[in-house]
Every structure is written in structure tokens, then in C-alpha cells.
Amino acid sequence: MSQILLRGATWQHAGRRTPAISDIDIRVERGERILLAGDSGSGKSTLLSALAGVLGGDDEGTLRGELTINAAAVGLVLQDPDSQVIASRVGDDVAFGCENLGLPREEIWRRVHQAMEMVGLDLSLEHPTARLSGGQKQRLALAGVIAMGAEVILLDEPTANLDPQGAADVVAAVDHVVKETGATLIVIEHNYTQWEHVLNRAIVLEHGKLIYDGEVAPAVAAR
């Protein structure tokens, strides 16, 4: 059974004449690592929001077609590092999602330590989140997703607001995470080259339509 299946998936915002994404057919198998590409306004973030389950209710728009995700949990990391920090201390921030899942305390903190190690955050659990760099905050958000047991990881331009070193650290952390966990990865990025060694498939949208689904290198060369 495919982990993600879309058949004719279409989302039209309320009050808009044309859909943001239209008739999208995609099948994703477990463990795939996908670049989601396209120009601004092509529908990338809408598609990612659909996969994350955060498009909104009927008052926000209409979703048609089929969208099925076979995963225990789906995790989303956005491009603004500051918008995703929840707690004042690093450990509490990573633990937040696990606490919402109602996991036993011992299991939560086991997962917190494991997730922080996996993303390369060698910090005390008491370390103030306010003193983290942008790249560290993105890795903190990634750790929170891992701790929750996400089997699908969605990244929406996670390095867009980072300096080159911070971006490289995030890419390396993501690469390590997917290798260790086997999670499925879908990444929206404009700087494709830094992700080429991590990804094994590219999906390209244009004006809400799927125009390419195949190997990464041709998609990168064409952009």
C-alpha cells in the first residue's frame, strides 16, 4: 500500500475562480525523498498544506478528489524559525508534541534525548530557546517532529531564512534523520543544489498543475 495517494486532488480557495491545485495525481511510497518544486504561486505550499492536513475547513475552500495518507503521524516544518518555537526551554519545546499525544513521561524524555541527538543539538534540556540561532531553531522544530514519531516529514523552505552554515546544518540533519528513521520526506526549496544528494525524486508544479514527476537532476537542470 502506498504511503501517500492523490487522485484528482483539487483545492479551490473560497471566493477564487481558479483552483490553487488542480487534478493532482501522485503516488508516494514509504521512504521516498522528494523535492517539490515550481515557481511562486505554482501551488507547492497548498499541496504541502493538504498533505499536512492544515488547509482549513469548508469556509476556507473546497477539496475535491482523493487524498489518502497511511502514516501514524505527519510532521510539518515551516520556513520561519521563530514562528515554530513553543517553549522557553529546548527540552520542553521538543517534548510539547509528545505531551499532546499523551505519552508516558519516561517515553517522552527518552524520545526528546534521542531526537535532539539525531538532529545534532548538543545542548542542555534547560537551554533557552531564545539563545538559539535560526538554524538551531529549525533543527529544534525537526526534533519535535521526530519525537512525535512522524513517518512523513514535510519541509516548506526550511533554509530560506538561514545563513549558509545554518542551511548546511539543517540539510545535514534532515539527511541523517531520514536515513535513521526511514521517514518519507517532501521538501519545498528554491536552492535545489544543496538538497540534490538527499533527494531521489522531483515533483514540479506549474499554475497548480503537475508538469513533471521523475528524477531530481533533470528537474534541477531545468529550473
pLDDT number for residue 149: 95
The CATH architecture that domain 4-215 belongs to is 3-Layer(aba) Sandwich (3.40)
What SS3 state is found at 212? strand
pTM of the shown model: 0.94
DSSP collapsed to 3 states, 109-162:
HHHHHHHHHHCCCCCCCCCEHHHCCHHHHHHHHHHHHHHCCCCEEEEECCCCCC
* Residue from 210, 215, 148 nearest 177 by CA: 148
Domain locations in the chain?
Answer: 4-215
pLDDT (tens digit, 0 to 9) for every residue of the chain, 223 residues total?
Answer: 899 999 999 999 998 889 999 999 999 999 999 999 999 889 999 999 999 999 887 788 999 999 999 998 999 999 999 999 999 999 999 999 999 999 999 999 999 999 999 999 999 999 999 999 999 999 999 999 999 999 999 999 999 999 999 999 999 999 999 999 999 999 998 888 889 899 999 999 999 999 999 999 888 777 6
Taking only Cα atoms into account, the Rg of the chain, rounded to an integer number of angstroms, comes to 17
